[in-house]
A and B are shown apart, each in its own frame.
Chain A
Amino acid sequence: MIYEVFRQERRGQPFEHAGSVEAPDADFAEAWAREQYGRRGESVALWLVPRDAIRDVEHWADEFDLKYRRVDGYSIKARLKEARERAGTAGDR
């Protein structure tokens, strides 16, 4: 069985995908993952998840231009320039 390994580098950090281990059961997976992902003290915790238990989620529809949902969806510059000119503060920067 293939177990995906997620490791936490330090307390409080997110668990990140680190790779996978093939093992006959969870005990062997643990023993072997401890070695592979912790022997140099690089992880404080691991999550081992059978690959079958993982649901792969991809592809979002993005058919209509809903730019308000994105950081690049606003272009502030032109309007800010105009506002400053109106307020007479354009040269103060």
Chain B
Amino acid sequence: MAAVEIPRDEQAFLEYVQAGGQVETTDWMPDEYRRLLIKFIEMHGNSELMGVLPEREWILRAPTLERKLALTAKVQDEVGHSQLIYRVVEDLGKPREQCLADLVDGKAKFHNVFHYPTKTWGDVGVIAWLVDAAAIISQKALLKCSYAPYARIMKKICWEESFHILHGRDVILAMVTGTPEQFELVQEALNRWWAPLMQFHGNPIPSDEDPMYQWRIKSQGNGEARQQFLDGYVPQIWELGLTVPDSKLRKRDDGVWEFSEPDWDELKHVVTGHGPKTEERLALRRRFLEQEQWVRDVVLAA
């Protein structure tokens, strides 16, 4: 059989990926495809990295040795993911230092959920159980990304994320079967995290207007991802006796979930760098990036 040749023509390339064709690092690709890939994958890398900061203080405060170990391992995975992801971005043409510089300068984006504060151990449970669940739905869809190196790392990422959800569920279950105050910690955290969770997958864009879908970088619409999240996790929330702070939330007879329209203005405001914790977290990263520049200079000078 003749080897599959990537067509060197934008229209033909588009048809190639839409027919399920896979693209490797050294293949020809349209500039627009490369640009969109870098932007999307970089945002993912930034998100994994920024996701560490809301959780790091709870490692230090974990109430048992087992929870300390499990949370350390979970957060470690997030850093490991960012490493894998930036490596892919680098092979596409944008070095990691540039990604990190753009991140701390506020020029690059990361997911809304990592701009919010964590206030209690209840947040630790809710994040590992529900935020990671929302992320894993998107990540499973990315297993089919037309850009093969990214699809391949998604396999490892999804495998590791499955541990996180188990850990999150266990933390939540311990609290909802503990003291009334512990149950309240979970409910209170859920009340705060619900809106960001509903915004997480983004506002629905028709597939024929979504370039990410056209190039088969994403293979799942935002609305579809949200429905999958609700279908999987609202029953889990309700069966524990917890309530969701949305009186309109219900599953219709046709299986579609109805809910109050998420605040898309809030989402836009937050991801453009105006979240409650954005500046503080970027400042922390910036501070240490600068403080430890000498280490990279010494070590990476081969």
Contacts and interface: CB of A to CB of B under 8 A. Distances in A.
Interface string A34-67: 0110011010000000000000101110100000
Contacts of A42: 159
Contacts of A36: 80, 83-84
Contacts of A58: 3
A5 to B, nearest CB: 10
A24 B301 CA distance: 7
B87 A28 contact: no
A19 B87 CA distance: 9
B3 A59 contact: yes
Nearest to B80: A36
B26 interface: yes
B90 A25 contact: no
B299 A28 contact: yes
B87 A24 contact: no
A4 to B, nearest CB: 11
Given A35-B80, A40-B160, A59-B3, A20 B300 contact: no
Contacts of B163: 40
Contact of A62 (B2, B84, B160, B299): B2
Contacts of B1: 62, 70
B243 interface: no
A35 B73 CA distance: 11
Nearest to A17: B152
Interface in A17-37: 18-22, 24-25, 28, 35-36
Contacts of A18: 156
A40 B74 CA distance: 11
Contacts of A39: 73, 76, 80
A21 to B, nearest CB: 8
| B contact residues, range | 20 to 34
Contacts of B26: 56
A25 B299 CA distance: 9
Nearest to A63: B2
B302 interface: yes
B236 to A, nearest CB: 25
Nearest to A40: B160
Nearest to A56: B26
Nearest to A70: B1
B90 A22 contact: yes
Contacts of B3: 58-60
Contact of A19 (B84, B299, B302): B84
Contacts of A35: 80
A21 B163 CA distance: 24
B87 A20 contact: yes
A80 interface: no
B153 interface: yes
Nearest to A72: B1
B65 to A, nearest CB: 18
Nearest to A32: B83
Given A40-B163, A42-B159, A59-B3, 6 more contacts: A19-B87, A20-B91, A24-B302, A36-B80, A39-B73, A39-B76
Interface of B: 1-3, 26, 73, 76, 80, 83-84, 87, 90-91, 96, 152-153, 156, 159-160, 163, 299-302
Interface of A: 1, 18-22, 24-25, 28, 35-36, 39-40, 42, 56, 58-60, 62, 70
Closest 10 CB pairs of A and B: A62-B2, A24-B302, A59-B3, A24-B300, A24-B299, A20-B87, A36-B80, A19-B84, A62-B1, A58-B3
